[in-house]
């Protein structure tokens, strides 16, 4: 079974198409709306309000969902997929509970180093752009769906804590301590080559970091021309096939 962690200022239902493909392949999918997001945000403090504990509270809530999912599928291989902000939550998850997983996937991600903060607009590489969110995908229809979705693109009420701030690799800063991540945990990292969050450079840096931490099964793939949301990209069928093949191989 797979627990999917969505990204910043979006929600779980945006992954419905991928979830349908995964379930058709025999993989049960759980995807919660994180605190301050989607229906969870609407029912609580409002969209953009992560609560008094910020990302720490989000991570604990994510873990609670995992425990429910694991309990409903005893004996089944446990997989985690985190996209974008969800991938940064996922990196923290692996440090604490990675030993309970049979595999993990990080997409739209990068190696985040303490104190490294992104500057400039994510959309800048794609100007002149039709929308402020052209950096998400080359598929204009998918970008417009994000723009039109009232549960996407909102401002955060809480000040985003460092663990939720997007940043590019900063070689001069110390890398995070991932010595607690089990060396036998299979890890797949997928990035669009033109993704301004990490792209080829950030994804490769993250893969190298995990290998240096001792992980023995780390796979990184970059898709040339791909932007941030690979599951909504023009080559999403290729990406979905790659993901399913990797997951099925670890769920047998």
pLDDT of residue 58: 96
CATH of the domain at 224: 3.40.50.1820
Task: Assess if residue 27 is contained within a domain.
Answer: yes
Task: Assess if residue 183 is contained within a domain.
Answer: no
Measured in whole angstroms, how far is the alpha carbon of residue 117 from the centre of its chain?
A: 18
Q: What is the pLDDT of residues 127-182, one digit of tens each?
A: 999 999 999 999 999 999 999 999 999 866 654 443 333 434 444 467 899 999 99
Residue 51, pLDDT > 70, answer yes
Confidence at 202, pLDDT banded by 50, 70, 90: very high
Task: Assess if residue 16 is contained within a domain.
Answer: yes
Query: What CA–CA distance (Å, rounded) separates 139 from 134?
Result: 9
Task: Assess if residue 139 is contained within a domain.
Answer: yes
Task: Assess if residue 191 is contained within a domain.
Answer: no
Q: What string of DSSP letters covers 184-240?
A: T--EEEEEETT-SSSHHHHHHHHHHHHHHTT-S-EEEEEETT--S-GGGSTTHHHHH
The token pair that represents 231 in the structure block:
């599951």
Task: Assess if residue 176 is contained within a domain.
Answer: no
Residue 230: give the domain boundaries. Answer: 2-167+200-249
213 contact partners, CB below 8 Å, separation of at least 6: 178, 179, 181, 183
Q: Cis peptide leading into 128, omega within 30 of 0?
A: yes
Number of domains making up the chain: 1
Residue 54, pLDDT > 60, answer yes
Task: Assess if residue 194 is contained within a domain.
Answer: no
- Contact at 8 Å (CB) between 154 and 9? yes
Query: pTM of the entire structure?
Result: 0.93
User: What rounded mean pLDDT belongs to the chain?
Assistant: 92
Quickly count: other Cβ atoms within 10 Å of residue 225's Cβ. Answer: 12
pLDDT of residue 119: 72
Task: Assess if residue 193 is contained within a domain.
Answer: no
């Amino acid at each position: 079974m797979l627990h999917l962690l969505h990204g910043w200022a979006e929600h779980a239902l945006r992954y419905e198409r991928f979830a349908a493909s995964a379930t058709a392949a025999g993989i049960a999918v759980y995807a919660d709306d994180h605190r301050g997001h989607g229906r969870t945000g609407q029912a609580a403090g409002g969209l953009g309000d992560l609560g008094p504990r910020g990302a720490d509270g989000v991570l604990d809530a994510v873990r609670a969902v995992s425990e429910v999912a694991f309990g409903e599928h005893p004996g089944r291989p446990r997989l985690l997929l985190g996209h974008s902000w969800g991938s940064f939550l996922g990196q923290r998850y692996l440090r604490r509970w990675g030993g309970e997983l049979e595999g993990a996937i990080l997409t739209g991600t990068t190696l985040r180093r303490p104190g490294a903060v992104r500057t400039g607009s994510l959309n800048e590489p794609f100007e002149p752009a039709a929308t402020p969110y052209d950096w998400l995908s080359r598929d204009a229809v998918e970008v417009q769906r994000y723009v039109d979705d009232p549960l996407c693109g909102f401002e955060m009420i809480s000040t985003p804590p460092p663990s939720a701030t997007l940043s590019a690799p900063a070689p001069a800063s110390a890398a995070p301590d991932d010595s607690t991540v089990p060396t036998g945990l299979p890890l797949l990292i997928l990035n669009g080559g033109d993704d301004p969050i990490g792209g080829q450079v950030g994804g490769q840096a993250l893969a190298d970091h995990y290998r240096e931490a001792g992980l023995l099964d780390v796979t990184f793939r970059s898709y040339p021309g791909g932007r941030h949301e690979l599951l909504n990209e023009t080559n999403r069928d290729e990406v979905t096939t790659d993901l399913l093949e990797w997951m099925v191989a670890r769920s047998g």
